[in-house]
Amino acid sequence: MGFKLANVNGISSLIRGESYYDINTISLGKISSDPSKVLDSLNDLHELSNRIEDFEATGLIEKSLLGAPIINSKNCFAVGLNYKKHAEES
């Protein structure tokens, strides 16, 4: 099963419903809350997401400031909706 990842007030968090869960807190410090490092622990994120009901929510999304879920200056991934048109041009 997948999971929803968010940057809530600068802290990497998992999302379930209208609530968010600070990843560092629910992993007992095993996973960093740093959005630039969180994907280093994909297997652990899946495990935490599967057990999210075991944890108390950190807060509500509606009362939070959301940022980019992943901060990574090495790569940029995007979907080119006009890719076919550009391919035809070249």
DSSP states of 42-53: HHHHHHHHHTGG
Alpha-helix runs per DSSP H in 1-90: 23-26, 42-50, 83-89
| Higher pLDDT pick, 11 / 76 | 11
Residue from 39, 13, 38, 9 nearest 26 by CA: 13
Q: What is the total count of domains within the chain?
A: 1
Residues in a beta bridge with 5: 14
Q: What is the pLDDT of residues 39-74, one digit of tens each?
A: 888 899 999 999 999 999 999 999 888 887 777 656
Domain that holds residue 17: 4-89
Spatial strand order of the sheet with 4-8 comes to 59-60, 19-22, 11-16, 4-8, 66-67
Q: List C-alpha distances in Å: 83 to 53, 75, 90.
A: 41, 19, 11
pTM of the model: 0.75
